[in-house]
């Protein structure tokens, strides 16, 4: 009977097999790679939305400035101030500004390509000369530069990206 005592003592497992460890590592790597891909997609989508919001705010500001000139039957000018990172609209012969649009901290307008360095609007609300606003958005995963080109008279607007 002394030999039968061995049957009642359970033998415990002391570790995991190589196959079990490899299966766990495989599942972890699949989960992590899926999460990283999802995070990158979210960041890229967020960057695209932020860029479009900036472009829309610039275009809306210019359109409102054109409407203001037309309503007041007065010409106006849009300036860019680097120290405050904003665009400002002023009617001709007025001492104070009419409106401003502030850009986000990580957005910087590099220049406004016109012969004068600012955007001129006549008393009919028409942009007299074409202009290109080049801006840089400090986006993660997006080191491209962007430009908004406004064609004279027609007011056609074109958005471009370049490296």
pLDDT in tens, 98-136: 888 888 877 778 778 887 888 899 999 998 888 888 887
Alpha carbons 143 and 141: distance in angstroms, whole number:
6
CB atoms within 10 A of CB 146: 20
Residue 145 confidence class, pLDDT cut points 50, 70, 90:
confident
Q: What share of the chain is helix, strand, coil (3-state, %, to 5)?
A: 40, 30, 35
Residue carrying structure tokens 């101030």: 81
Q: What's the whole-number mean pLDDT along residues 80-96?
A: 86
pLDDT at 12: 62
pLDDT tens per residue across span 7-48: 555 556 677 888 989 999 999 999 999 988 888 888 888 888
User: Which of 52-61, 64-73, 137-146, 147-156 tops mean pLDDT?
Assistant: 64-73
**How far from 2 is each of 7, 11, 125, 156, CA to CA, in Å?**
10, 18, 107, 99
Domains of the chain are 17-162 (3.55.40.10)
In the prediction, which pLDDT does 76 show?
A: 93
């Amino acid at each position: 009977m002394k030999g039968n005592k061995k049957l009642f003592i359970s033998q415990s497992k002391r570790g995991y097999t190589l196959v079990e460890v490899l299966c766990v590592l495989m599942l972890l790597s699949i989960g992590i790679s899926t999460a990283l891909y999802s995070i990158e997609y979210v960041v890229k989508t967020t960057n695209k939305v932020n860029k479009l919001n900036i472009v829309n705010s610039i275009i809306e500001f210019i359109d409102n400035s054109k409407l203001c000139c037309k309503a007041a039957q007065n010409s106006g000018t849009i300036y860019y101030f680097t120290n405050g990172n904003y665009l400002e609209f002023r009617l001709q012969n007025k001492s104070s500004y009419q409106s401003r649009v502030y850009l986000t901290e990580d957005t910087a307008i590099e220049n406004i390509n016109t012969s004068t360095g600012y955007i001129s609007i006549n008393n009919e609300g028409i942009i007299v000369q074409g202009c290109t606003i080049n801006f840089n958005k400090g986006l993660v995963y997006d080191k491209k530069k962007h430009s908004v080109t406004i064609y004279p008279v027609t007011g056609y607007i074109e958005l471009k990206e370049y490296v």
